[in-house]
Structure 1
Amino acid sequence: MGKRLLLVDDEPLNLELLGELLQDAGYDTEAVANGEAAWQLLQQHGEQYAAVLLDQMMPGISGFELLRRMKANPHLAFLPVIMQTAVGAAASVQEGLSSGAFYYLTKPFSRDMLLAVVAAATVHWDRHQYFRELASQQMGALQFLQQAEFSFRTLQEARHVASLLAKTSPEPEKVATGLFELIVNAIEHGNLGVSFEEKTRLQQQEQWEQELERRLSDPQLGQRKVRLSMQRDAQALSFEVRDEGDGFDWQQFLAREPGQLLASHGRGIMIARRLSFDELEYRERGNVVRAVSYLPAASAGQGGSQ
């Protein structure tokens, strides 16, 4: 059985079309016709879904209101929501962004765009679930770690480091998800020099994974490393991610413009800033980022006394 998706739309034809396209692509879908029914399902069985496709304009509980409720619920906050909106509705996209939507589909949409956006959303959910599972493992001694430094090259190595360091936090799956997003950017766009436009094109041509491996095998690019440091004080955990790339225009990725949310990727920094960390600051030419997670008083006192 494929990943399970919740489809929410008050138009039966839209639900039928979405269901057919997604089921043909291997997804398992469940459809409801209003926000009230969707909210009941999410409260009872939210953990079984990998993403929610949500029409923004519905009677009763609107798509925006349902999204706000999800983001306010700690068990649903990281569940990806794909909002459906009309072409040219920039103001609606902005409202959805403010409410926590990171994925958008403009009607009418193509099959390829639908599958690309759904795939991007479920990849982020898979990452969060992976780190959530690791966080359940008992590694209590890491709560007393005061500082640490790591260097690594690949995404697999990064996944190990992010999951380990996240266990220094009282909310490990939350920190791990955001930290890994920052590291992915450092490896792909920093050390390996892949531009946003290049990744878009490679994904459309289904050549992204091959190109990533090719660059990791390059005798120069592939030897670049990401350096990650962690520091604990009485108030917060601070993480610094530094890559060896040429830097990038990071400002545009901190708060995406409505039109940029229609792409199939490019949301990692925004997700880290809005869902994982209390502070996020890029430095130098964009190849250094500092992320801060505040500690609750009890946890801060425990770590700071060592």
Structure 2
Amino acid sequence: MLSDTKKLLSICIPAYNDRIGLRDLFESLADELADPVISKRVEIIVRDDASPDGSLETIMAGYLEKFSNVRFVRNDVNLGFDKNVLAVVSDAVGQYCWLMSDNDAIFPGSLVEIVRILEENQDVGHVYLQAVTFDKDLKKLQSKIKKDVGSIRFDSSEEFITVINLPGFISSQIVRKDLWDSIEKEKYIGNYWIHLSTILEFLPRTFGLYVTWPVIKARNKNAWAKDGKNMYVFLSLHTIINNLGEFGYSGECIKHFNRGFIRDLLEVAAYARIKGLRASFSLIGELVRKFYSHPFRLMAVLLVLITPRVILRHLGKIKTKLL
């Protein structure tokens, strides 16, 4: 058992300029935070990455007054997402850190269940939580709820990431802090996936749990879509996967995910182009380097990147009607 001064779980929230999202998150946590058992075992840290209007401080004031286990830190300057994630986890004192976006929420009763799971599995290295997608107001369900088969243990890191299809969604991540701290993470700053990169590096040294009942209400608010930035996020993920061999992942595991990249490439490119992606020489060069062994798919992607956005939007509407 942990000592009274040591928290079991730190909920780490890298926040920026989303007061409504942060309020909704805390409202989903409030009832359980009032439980004296939970307040003894759980802390929440919010790191505001120098939001320009200062509104997060206003939102947090009431929660700081009400809950003694809530902390709020405001960065003097904007660090960017990756460095803010590192900073908020470094603030944590819990044995485990739950990485939580500032615009998602949790289902009622979830926090109590997560504490129970961690109490029963205090050697687990990584817990991945089931997320369900809602609209931008967290009112309308937009994805299917998968069958609840409890929590599943995976001793093989390859089987774990294959079943989950890569543990990338940040609010679904609970990591054991000593494993997180053991990784030199600065090399991942700027790759859009600092949390996933770190987890994939330490995962072969531990076992994982997959919680299959709905825990996270994920807000469908794709911040990466602006100006087609999701294409660069996609390509960065491709790089991460193809470097997994140095951490002991097999060639077959890497090939499995590469087949998925090839399958999704055209759709990702079309969506990015609709959102404003421009076909720069550097982007074309990166696509050629990564996908030259699939010439027909590559040619289709390059064609999409020079197609007027209005035509792609029209084709997308036709596809939606046909489906």
TM-score normalised per structure 1: 0.28
Higher normalized contact order (CA 8 Å, seq sep 6+, divided by chain length): 2
TM-score normalised per structure 2: 0.27
